[in-house]
Amino acid sequence: MRPIALVLVLPLALAACKEEAAAPPPPRPVVSEVVTPQSGLRPQYVGTVTARVETDLGFPRIGTVAARPVRVGDVVQKGDVLARQDPEELDADLRAAEAGVTVAEAQANSARDAAARVDELVARGVDSTAAAQSAHASAAAAEAQLEQARATLARAEDARNLATLRAPQDGVITQTFAEPGATLAAGQPVLRLAGTGEREVVIDLSEQDIAGLAPGAVFHVRLEAAPLIGATATLRVIDPMADAATRTRRLHLTLASDTPAAFRLGALALVEPVAETHARTTLPLTALIGAKTGSDSAVWVVSRPEGIVHRTIVKTGATVGDRVLILAGLKPGDEVVTKGVNSIKDGQKVGREVSE
């Protein structure tokens, strides 16, 4: 009887193996993102008060720095002396130019007198018309040389005046590059001046944070050291390029004209967007199926706990970096698939959410 029992058991074991092989695979996990009202801009973050205009100042000609009466942190007014260049060579050029004008004036006067005498002789019939023409040509040449000498003098005077470096606007000295005695090339900076006429607050945000923001957005700004001192700032511009190291972009917020003087350059400020300028919902561009932007865009929304995906039409807005603004079609709490969207079918069952 033993051979018969083995024959009966063997087919049963083979059938069980076939049933195991035919079992469907478990639903695949998905990379997804949950839509929340906080998607986008953080409610508060830290920025720095800076000058809108910051200029490196130097001398237009090569020379030696004779004096630099200002230091880092000094507050200066428009027209204040910031540095002086050694004027010895410039003074020599100026004296040479003045002498050139004197010589040219004497030659021009002599040529004019000669032309006048020739004209008188021609009128009395003593000299020829050709001589008069030659005399007037010499006088014209002398006048041109005089104008050239005067132009050379004007350039020398300008160079001498520019040997004194003056503040082009009210501001603060934020950096110095050269000490007295240093010889600098033409245009090489001596110091850096930050203008105090227009101040702004700069902040660095990720591309996700700035999606939906545009120039003109209004923010409330408070001093980090004195939170009771506040002001209003307006978004002026977003840097078009992200920082290579942090992958953030810099926002420039222009402070209002009535901003308190306590907002000094370099001060830390707490920045909050006003209610109507809060950033809205954004998603990665990889979440979109079909058209990447416009009214035909769609995403896969996962219904939990069933794990069934449904194709949902969304209205998209501006694209910032690798994220897109979602204007309509989603609500807070929706789970949206963000990776592998082209290999999913409507009504498909998916597994748990996993991180990238």
Answer with the residue of higher pLDDT: 232 or 8: 232
Reading the block at residue 184, the tokens are 């600098």
- Give the chain's mean pLDDT: 83
Please say whether the beta carbons of 153 and 51 come within 8 A. Answer: no
pLDDT at position 342, please? 84
User: Looking at residue 69, what is its pLDDT?
Assistant: 94
63 contacts: CB under 8 Å, gap ≥ 6: 85, 86, 89, 90, 163, 183, 184
Tell me the range of 194-203, 267-276, 319-328 where mean pLDDT is highest: 194-203
The amino acid occupying position 286 is T
Whether 117 shows a pLDDT value over 50: the answer reads yes
pTM, whole model, 2 decimals? Answer: 0.56
Element at 249 (helix H, strand E) = strand 248-255
Q: State the pLDDT at residue 5.
A: 47
Residue 127 has pLDDT above 60, yes or no: yes
Amino acid at 235: L
Say how far apart CA 252 and CA 258 lie, in whole Å.
Answer: 18
Q: For the residues 237-258, what does the mean pLDDT come to?
A: 90
- H/E element, 46: strand 45-51
Percent of the chain having pLDDT more than 70?
A: 85
